[in-house]
Amino acid sequence: MSIDYAERIPNNVSLSEDRRLQRALENWQPKFLEWWNEMGPAGFQTADVYLRTATSVDAKGWATFGYVKMPEYRWGIFLTERDPNRTIPFGEHKGEPAWQEVPGEHRGVLRRLIVTQGDTEPASVEQQRHLGRTCPSLYDLRNLFQVNVEEGRHLWAMVYLLHGYFGRDGREEAEALLTRRSGSADNPRILGAFNERTPDWLSFFMFAHFTDRDGKYQLASLAESGFDPLSRTCRFMLTEEAHHLFVGETGISRTLARSCQLMKQHDTDAIGAHGGIPLSIVQKYLNFHFSVSLDLFGSELSTNAANYFSAGLKGRYKEADLADDHRLTNATYRVARARDGRIAESDEPALNALNEALRDAYIADCERALARWNKVIEDARIDFRLSLPHRGFHRAIGEFRGLFVSPTGRIVSESEWRDHEREWLPTQEDREFVASLMKPATQPGTFASWIAPPPRGINHQPIEMEYVRNLPPD
Ligand SMILES: [Fe+2]
Ligand SMILES: [Fe+2]
């Protein structure tokens, strides 16, 4: 399924056969570009960036790499191929043919799910727009911009669904996606984590690791949807998302590798003076980003989630791999709950616990990545291990909201929590210290003091390639 790049809007959905939709999207396109120029990477819109562009939606489609100025990136609409025999994989309509149109009674809910997902895409571009000036290398700068243009494309993916399937209210939502602003007091983005600042590259890598990973799980459960165009859209987005997770995980690995190297070289944990980030600060950043990302999964017990599932709108992670009836009418699920000052597990109706089930899959994935990070530290023979804080730590949504839970999962008093807050979450000084290390390294093949080079370059190119050319003057 190749993509037609001769069109004004590259697409593989035969857009030219639907004049109305094509006109509507061509009308939205300049507004998107206006948003990109205003809110996209600050100062780098005329730089030449070695980017990949999708040319088809199969595995070979990623082969196209080349220098592009970001505003000229070919954002478009790409869906995985339609399976004409696909049936709804779960819920009350399980086994019925997948819907090619929006089921009337679920229109509002489906639109909300699409808007909420769509809103995160431009939000992250806004959050990251000032990072270019402090890039630790041209390799990292290029990766940041690759992530940014693809988040822009994910916005296109959701706007296509809104325009194509939701009529006038869909068009209005598509406009609103360009007017909300991350962190704005009067018109913020919808979800909390997408209004936080991403002020430095350690935050960026943590965000790409933990918050984009939430995106992976949300997209994977929407990819199960009985509404087939949504499913096909999300399936293709997941292939792009994998690169974002790679950027996050390896960014942290390289930070750890450099910290360990400095610790050994100078025989001290206090590597700040030598331009490295102490492992204790990495742990605090991890605690922060993991906990705000857990909130994105929503309340542990949720009738909304139950309704989405029963209606066939949003499934579970890898629904087909789960060995049950895919309806969950009588099933139960173990949920950690706060009761009488302690945390204990209880069996809850599985339908109501779907957010928690998705969060569990996410946490297991985070544990696997954590083990890889700890291997970097172990291989350096350093006696320190990172850990994920307890799921109740520092939560603003759901069961643990308003409680003070330590990283080890103990409910403590507010005063005890405040006594330890500086050990558990980044302090103002930590953030200022990290910011002080964010000196740009823009000579090809050079890296900032706090991060190790990657093991290999992009697309089999050398690490010292000039991945971004034509940089703005300092
Ligand atoms: Fe995305
Ligand atoms: Fe992403």
pLDDT in tens, the chain (474 residues): 567 777 889 999 999 999 999 999 999 999 999 999 999 999 999 999 999 988 777 766 666 899 999 999 999 999 999 999 999 999 999 999 999 999 999 999 999 999 999 999 999 999 999 999 999 999 999 999 999 999 999 999 999 999 999 999 999 999 999 999 999 999 999 998 899 999 999 999 999 999 999 999 999 999 999 999 999 999 999 988 999 999 999 999 999 999 999 999 999 999 999 999 999 999 999 999 999 999 999 999 999 999 999 999 999 999 999 999 999 999 999 999 998 889 999 999 999 999 999 999 999 999 999 999 999 999 999 999 999 999 999 999 999 999 999 999 999 999 999 999 999 999 999 999 999 999 999 999 999 999 999 999 999 999 999 999 999 887
The alpha carbon of 311 and the centre of ligand 1 are apart by a number of angstroms equal to 25
Amino acid at 117: Q
The alpha carbon of 420 and the centre of ligand 2 are apart by a number of angstroms equal to 33
Helix residue spans in 212-295 (DSSP H): 212-222, 228-266, 279-295
Provide the 3-class DSSP secondary structure of residue 50: strand
Provide the 3-class DSSP secondary structure of residue 85: coil
> Cβ(210)–Cβ(366) under 8 Å?
yes
Q: Report phi then psi at 413, rounded to 5.
A: -75, 165
> Cβ(285)–Cβ(426) under 8 Å?
yes
**135: nearest Cα among 472, 385, 367, 424:** 472
d(C-alpha 152, C-alpha 146), whole Å: 10
Question: Quick one: pLDDT at residue 387?
Answer: 98
d(C-alpha 45, C-alpha 153), whole Å: 16
Measured from the alpha carbon of residue 213, the closest ligand is 2
Q: What's the longest Cα–Cα distance across the chain?
A: 68
> Cβ(338)–Cβ(399) under 8 Å?
yes
The alpha carbon of 209 and the centre of ligand 1 are apart by a number of angstroms equal to 12
d(C-alpha 220, C-alpha 117), whole Å: 12
Question: Quick one: pLDDT at residue 408?
Answer: 97
The alpha carbon of 150 and the centre of ligand 1 are apart by a number of angstroms equal to 7
Question: Quick one: pLDDT at residue 405?
Answer: 98
Measured from the alpha carbon of residue 246, the closest ligand is 2
The alpha carbon of 121 and the centre of ligand 2 are apart by a number of angstroms equal to 7
Measured from the alpha carbon of residue 211, the closest ligand is 2
DSSP per residue, 387-404: -PPPTTTT--SSTTTT--
The alpha carbon of 144 and the centre of ligand 2 are apart by a number of angstroms equal to 11
Question: Between β-strands 64-69 and 332-339, what pairing exists: parallel, antiparallel or unpaired?
Answer: unpaired
Question: Quick one: pLDDT at residue 57?
Answer: 72
Measured from the alpha carbon of residue 152, the closest ligand is 1
d(C-alpha 444, C-alpha 460), whole Å: 16
Structure-token match 């823009």, residue found: 442
Question: Quick one: pLDDT at residue 95?
Answer: 98
Instruction: Give the distance, in angstroms, between the CA of residue 133 and the centroid of all CA atoms in the same chain.
Output: 22
> Cβ(166)–Cβ(148) under 8 Å?
no
Instruction: Report the interhelical angle of 354-379 vs 228-266 (nearest 10°).
Output: 30
Angle at 295 between CA 292 and CA 301, to 5 degrees: 165
The alpha carbon of 293 and the centre of ligand 1 are apart by a number of angstroms equal to 14
The alpha carbon of 122 and the centre of ligand 1 are apart by a number of angstroms equal to 9
The alpha carbon of 248 and the centre of ligand 2 are apart by a number of angstroms equal to 10
- Which residues, chain by chain, have CB under 5 Å from ion ligand 2? 212, 241, 244
